[in-house]
């Protein structure tokens, strides 16, 4: 690793891996390096999905995180760069077989080696005892011989013969893959939560973030990529003199579809329930087949939260997060929008929010923007705008409301 990259410090940790800040050894360019331990087939499948999606996006869109390279770790200090377009076949085999390929064989080899070492030690101890007895007998014979023939030159007993150094047999390294290392562009503004909530509200900045995210998702959907986990944590920010540049990241739950029927991603259905509670679409909450339009609902939650600066603190955490929700009961229990719409498809959402929130607050979104948000958050996926239409509709709504 030191020959290619230098690890500086840990900057993030999630359910599946750790992210470090680092530098390229040759150029000094700052990068983010993500280590994904290959401990189970389920984790490996997510890693391969992320790698495949990031390779597909390449460096073709300013609002999608850039993957510089991928390294495969097969030993404590053994890293092998993966060639573009190539997948580590042993990891693919692990996913197909449902067990980490090579791990069992490596454990058996390790056990066999330790058993052999124990046997060798016991045999060695037996030999040592035998050699000690023989050596004493020979020493006694030599002393007798020396006494009878004092003229024969003798080698001093305390001088050892020079022996050639024993060559250690090189054991083959473990066959299984220990980890994948993804080297990506570094975003100095942190994630969208950290960036926006650490600054006073700014309508122009919020509008820029919303437009950039529309462009990124339209690009992903045009490639047949459904992200399936759009949320502020998975949007990174690069700070520039002209303003924030947002980057959609973390493609571990994404799905790629090739050979779309008429180029329409909405005809491809998924069934696995995945994502984050406060951003999941109602059809995902209900366990129904869903399409890429689930991404549009997640964007709707995110846009509403960004434009009105709506935050919550999830149970078990202390960090404030951007996200819209529904308040239930007198206690004001927070319920994810998708879950609420799953229970009641006719639920009327109040945009902008009616109840008072803590200042400072940005100006509320105008009528055209509110209408667009309601369309994005429709309980019926077919009523939501397509990603390719979204950017134009956002720009139009913001322009209307500015007048």
CA–CA distance, 279 with 244 (Å, rounded to integer): 23
Beta bridge partners of 248: 64, 235
End-to-end CA distance of the chain: 55
Give, to the nearest 10 degrees, the angle between helix 387-402 and helix 203-222: 160
- 243-248 and 179-185 as β-strands: parallel, antiparallel, unpaired? unpaired
> Which CA distances in Å does 130 have to 124, 133, 138, 250?
10, 5, 12, 65
Of 11-15, 95-99, 356-360, 367-371, where does mean pLDDT reach its minimum? Answer: 356-360
* 362: confidence class by pLDDT, cuts 50, 70, 90: confident
DSSP designation for 152? S
Beta bridge partners of 236: 191, 247
Tokens of 395: 């720009």
- The fraction of the chain above a pLDDT of 90, given in percent, is 51
Sign for the CA dihedral angle at 390, 396, 400, 401 comes to: positive
pTM of the model: 0.79
What is the number of other CB atoms lying within 10 angstroms of the CB of residue 99?
13
User: Which phi and psi (to 5°) does residue 2 adopt?
Assistant: -60, -30
The tens digit of pLDDT for each residue in 182-211 reads 999 999 999 999 999 999 999 999 999 999
Nearest residue to 216 (alpha-carbon basis) of 247, 245, 186: 247
What number is the average pLDDT over the span 15-39?
91
* 371: confidence class by pLDDT, cuts 50, 70, 90: very high
Nearest residue to 250 (alpha-carbon basis) of 235, 270, 272, 271: 235
CA–CA distance, 227 with 225 (Å, rounded to integer): 6
Task: Specify the CATH number for 187-403; select among 1.10.510.10, 1.10.40.60, 1.20.210.10, 3.40.50.1700.
Answer: 1.10.510.10
The tens digit of pLDDT for each residue in 155-192 reads 444 444 444 433 333 344 444 678 999 999 999 999 99
Q: What's the chain's average pLDDT?
A: 82
| Model pLDDT, residue 262 | 55
CA–CA distance, 310 with 357 (Å, rounded to integer): 8
What is the number of other CB atoms lying within 10 angstroms of the CB of residue 159?
7
Residue given tokens 């980057």 in the structure block: 247
DSSP designation for 165? P
Tokens of 346: 């006719």
Domain spans in the chain, listed from the N-terminal domain onward: 1-110+174-186, 187-403
Question: Does 1-110+174-186 carry CATH code 3.30.200.20?
Answer: yes
User: Which residue is catalytic, options 229, 250, 295, 401?
Assistant: 229
* 372: confidence class by pLDDT, cuts 50, 70, 90: very high
Given a cut of 80, whether residue 221 has pLDDT beyond it is yes
Cα atoms in the 13 Å half-sphere on the side-chain side of 24: 13
The answer, yes or no, to whether the previous bond of 352 is cis (omega within 30 of 0) is yes
* 2: confidence class by pLDDT, cuts 50, 70, 90: low
Given a cut of 70, whether residue 125 has pLDDT beyond it is no
CA–CA distance, 17 with 70 (Å, rounded to integer): 14
CA–CA distance, 219 with 53 (Å, rounded to integer): 12
Determine the distance from the C-alpha atom of residue 71 to the mean position of all C-alpha atoms in its chain, rounded to a whole number.
14
DSSP per-residue letters across 333-355: EEEEHHHHHHH-TTPPP-SS--S
229 is catalytic: yes
Task: Indicate the helix (H) or strand (E) that contains 245.
Answer: strand 243-248
């Amino acid at each position: 690793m030191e020959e290619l990259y230098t690890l500086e410090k840990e900057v993030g940790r999630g359910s599946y891996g750790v992210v470090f800040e680092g530098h390229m050894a040759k150029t000094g360019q700052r990068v983010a390096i993500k280590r994904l331990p290959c401990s189970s087939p389920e984790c490996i499948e997510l890693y391969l999905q992320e790698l495949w999606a990031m390779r597909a996006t390449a460096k073709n869109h300013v609002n999608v995180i850039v993957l510089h390279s991928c390294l495969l770790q097969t030993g404590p200090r053994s890293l092998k760069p993966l060639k573009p377009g190539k997948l580590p076949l042993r990891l693919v085999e692990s996913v197909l077989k449902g067990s980490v390929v090579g791990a069992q064989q490596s454990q058996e080899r390790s056990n066999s080696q330790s058993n052999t070492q124990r046997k060798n030690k016991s045999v060695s101890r037996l030999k040592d005892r035998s050699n000690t007895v023989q050596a004493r007998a020979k020493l006694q014979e030599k002393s007798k011989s020396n006494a009878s023939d004092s003229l024969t030159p003798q080698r001093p007993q305390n001088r050892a013969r020079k022996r050639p150094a024993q060559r250690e047999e090189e054991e083959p390294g473990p066959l299984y893959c220990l980890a994948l290392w993804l080297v990506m562009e570094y975003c100095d503004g942190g994630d969208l939560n950290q960036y926006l909530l650490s600054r006073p509200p700014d309508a122009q900045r919020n509008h820029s973030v919303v437009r950039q995210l529309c462009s990124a998702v339209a690009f992903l959907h045009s490639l047949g990529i459904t992200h399936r986990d759009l949320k502020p944590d998975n949007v990174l920010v690069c700070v520039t003199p002209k303003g924030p540049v947002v980057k959609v990241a973390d493609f571990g739950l994404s799905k790629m579809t090739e050979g779309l029927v008429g180029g329409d991603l909405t005809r491809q259905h998924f069934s696995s329930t995945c994502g984050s509670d406060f951003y999941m679409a109602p059809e995902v909450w209900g366990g129904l087949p869903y399409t890429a339009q689930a991404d549009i609902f997640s964007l709707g939650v995110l846009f509403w939260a960004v434009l009105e600066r709506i935050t919550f603190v999830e149970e078990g955490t202390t960090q404030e997060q951007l996200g819209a929700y529904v308040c239930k009961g007198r206690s004001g229990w927070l319920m994810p929008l998708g879950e609420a719409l799953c229970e009641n498809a006719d639920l009327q959402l109040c945009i902008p929010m009616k109840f008072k929130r803590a200042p400072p607050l940005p100006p509320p979104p105008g009528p055209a923007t509110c209408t667009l948000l309601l369309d994005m958050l429709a309980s019926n996926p077919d009523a939501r705008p397509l990603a390719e239409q979204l950017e134009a509709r956002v720009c139009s709504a913001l322009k209307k409301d500015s007048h």
